[in-house]
Structure 1
Amino acid sequence: MGNASLDIDHYQHIYTEYAPMLMRFAEKFVSGFFAEDIVHDVFLKLWDKQVFRLPESDLKRVLYVSVRNACLDYLRRMNMEQEIIDHRALQLKLDELDFFEASDELFMRKDLLDLLMKKVAELPERSQEVFRMSYLEGLKAAEIAERLNLSVRTVENLLYRSLLYLRKNCSNLFLLIFLL
């Protein structure tokens, strides 16, 4: 028991003497909060490995080298964490730009389709009906003819005239819709 008590007293003496100098040394490399943690960790390892029993000249060298290495390890870890954070931040910005680009395109496309539908509304009623059934519902000319009780040829003529009108009055609009 006496031997353990002497070890604790010797360890406390070394801590009291060297810890403040080691913290100032560590603060040259890291912030004060982390310097204190680093020095405390070094002293815990010192206790575990019984290094405090070394001659004082060797002990001082071991303490400073240990604190320096612990600071380097901390800085490397922080650098890697910062690189990960920077990479994630960059990826987030790229994803955000992609989202805005896609949403702008979506809004433009919607606006252009709204303009096109206004032009479709200018067509005669039967032409509007045939156009919507063909282009919005995706029905074939024969299906439209059957539903509206018209000939296939009449449906094709109505679609043809509708497209001519729209091309003439919306040529730029068609180009924009198909480019987006």
Structure 2
Amino acid sequence: MAIFEQIFQKYYRSLLIYGLKFIKDEDDVRDVLQEVFTTVWENQKYKLEETHLKSYLFNSVRNGCLNYIRHQSVINKHAENEKWGLQLYELNFYKSGETSLIEKEDLGKIYSAIDSLPVHYKEIIELSRFEGLKNKEISEKLKIPLRTVETRLFRALSGLRKVLTGNQIFILMNLVGEPVRR
């Protein structure tokens, strides 16, 4: 036990500083260090030769930090997917009745942004999003080539992405068949 305590005292501070290069939150780095030292204790790594032990500790901290970062990335991605899923659920829930307050607020901004588009882009967006027409149907209705419809739709959406938030774009993309409410 005395050897382990000496190793802990000797390396803890430098390992903490090293871990902070990967993870900015000190408490999270301390969690990684706790895992590393638990492994050292359980697997009796403290009995290793000094140079091997030092390499083991620093490699373990680096790997632990990288695993933590990967895990946080997965958690963040899951949270983002859940957020979009809830928003989609909310949009579908309110389709039959009154629109949610969030959607109402965003819809005003969306309609305003659409109104600011050139007429030929605005027309394509309205046919696509509000009337729910497919590109081929828009092409036939306006008597223009399909590729022109695709290009105008792409340019219209690109322009809207510059002025709308991600959430507003999400709402716009899920408005198919919604009546034009202004």
- TM-score normalised by length of structure 1: 0.52
The AA in structure 2 aligned to 1:92 is L
Q: Which residue of 1 aligns with 2:80?
A: 86
Q: How many residues align?
A: 98
Paired position in structure 1 for 2:40 = 46
Higher relative contact order (CA 8 A, sep 6+): 2
* Aligned with residue 11 of structure 1, among 4, 8, 12: 4
Pairwise CA RMSD: 1.4
Question: Hey, what does 1:62 align to over in structure 2?
Answer: 56
Give the superposition deviation at 1:103.
Answer: 1.3
> For residues 31-180 of structure 1, what are the structure 2 equivalents within 5 Å?
31-104=25-98
Ranges in structure 1 where 5+ consecutive residues have no aligned partner: 1-7, 106-180
> Equivalents in 1 of 2:19, 2:97: separation in Å?
51
Q: Deviations over 1:13-38 (max 9, x none)?
A: 11001011111111122210010111
CA-CA distance at 1:10 after TM superposition:
1.1
Mapped to 2, the partners of 1:23 and 1:40 lie a distance apart of: 10
SS of the aligned residue for 2:22 comes to coil
Higher-helix-fraction structure: 1
Where structure 2 has 5 or more consecutive residues not aligned to the other structure, the ranges are: 100-182
Identity %: 29
Give me the TM-score of the superposition, normalised by structure 2: 0.51
